[in-house]
Amino acid sequence: MTPLSRLVGVFGELLLTLGALVLAFVAWQLWWTDVAANASQREAVTGLERTFADQPADQPLARIPTPKPGEAFAVLRLPRLGTGYATPVYEGTDKRTLTQGVGHYRGTALPGEIGNFAVAGHRMTYGGPFRMMEELRAGDLAVVETVAGYAVYRLGPSYITSPDHFVALEPTPEQPGVAPTKASITLTACHPKYASTYRMIVHGTLAHTYPRSQGLPADLARQLGLPAGPTASGKATTAPTTTPTTKAGR
Amino acid sequence: MYAALWRHLPGPTWVRALLMLVLVVLVLAVCVQWLFPWVADVVPFNEQTVEAPSSVRSVG
């Protein structure tokens, strides 16, 4: 074998190896990240529910402490996407945070607070919490649970826009410079799936809040696959809050 | 390249094949643990956020 043909052989093998690694990356991204994230996000929701149940239940909803970057601090439920649909909300929207669940845009309002509670989530890979986002219809509910209770938002229609449409995150969504008078929610995700050319966005406004001590009304709790709140079920104890999570898993 | 690696591995054929398999699994494990997450961070294929151009960034 001449040195040249040996060199060509090694080069060919390197190319084959590179091709195999690219295939492995695609398999990892499209399949394995979902497998890993589904398990870890369910675990995160369970952990959050346990933490919430252990806390004293007398905080006003919009007065929860500002979460630290990367901290899981809320559970988002979208009953349209399934009775048991629950995804953890982390503080921050950097790529690493979004691999864990839904990310809260730093500096935007907290759940139930006047202003815009804005979150971003994947529609594919890493568990794809917003995979079925196109199924959301105007009038659907988005329920955000924090340590202090539940903020129930009523969603408007979704729309497709460009990635630099950051006015969606303004305290009054879409209206820069307008002081907020309402508590809003904003969900953002990529569009179309498997690409990042556009963004899909849904806004909503706060319809109800339920402090933890009161719990959810029975019909809403049923929609979310959760046990009804202590007052709704006629019991004065807070004991039922220790078990909601096993039913919340997808 | 792989032929040379094969020649340098010790033992009979089945031991060499086993060692090859272990090496492949090791390489894939390193990729999944460190390389792939890093690549996913760097490539702009999977963005979910709306952002201002950095000069006028207000939130995000």
- pLDDT digit string, tens, across residues A64-81: 888 999 999 999 999 999
Q: Is residue B24 part of a domain?
A: yes
Q: What is the pLDDT of residue A229?
A: 67
| Set of chain B residues whose Cβ sits within 8 Å of the Cβ of A99 | 37, 40
* pLDDT classification of B53: cutoffs 50, 70, 90: low
Number of domains in chain B: 1
Chain B CB contacts of A100 under 8 Å are none
A150, A134, A118, A146: which is closest to A220 by C-alpha?
A150
* Domain that includes residue B16, residue range: 1-31
Cβ–Cβ of A190/B48 closer than 8 Å? yes
* pLDDT, mean over chain A: 87
Q: Is the C-alpha dihedral spanning A52, A54, A57, A59 positive or negative?
A: negative
Tell me, what's the ipTM? 0.83
CA dihedral A23, A29, A32, A38 (to 10 degrees): -170
Whether the predicted pLDDT of A133 surpasses 90:
yes
pLDDT of A150 above 90: yes
Query: Is A199 labeled as catalytic in the residue annotation?
Result: yes
Is residue A181 within 8 A of residue A193, CB to CB? The reply is: no
Q: Residue A189: its pLDDT value, please?
A: 93
Chains A and B form CB pairs within 8 A to the count of 92
In this prediction, residue A112 has a pLDDT band, given cuts at 50, 70 and 90, of very high
CATH architecture of A32-248: Beta Barrel (2.40)
Is residue B44 one of the residues assigned to a domain?
no
* A200-245 tens-digit pLDDT: 999 999 999 998 888 889 999 998 988 776 654 433 333 333 333 3
Which of A156-160, B22-26, B50-54 comes out lowest in average pLDDT?
B50-54
Q: How confident is the model at residue A194 (pLDDT cuts 50, 70, 90)?
A: confident
Domain ranges of chain A: 32-248
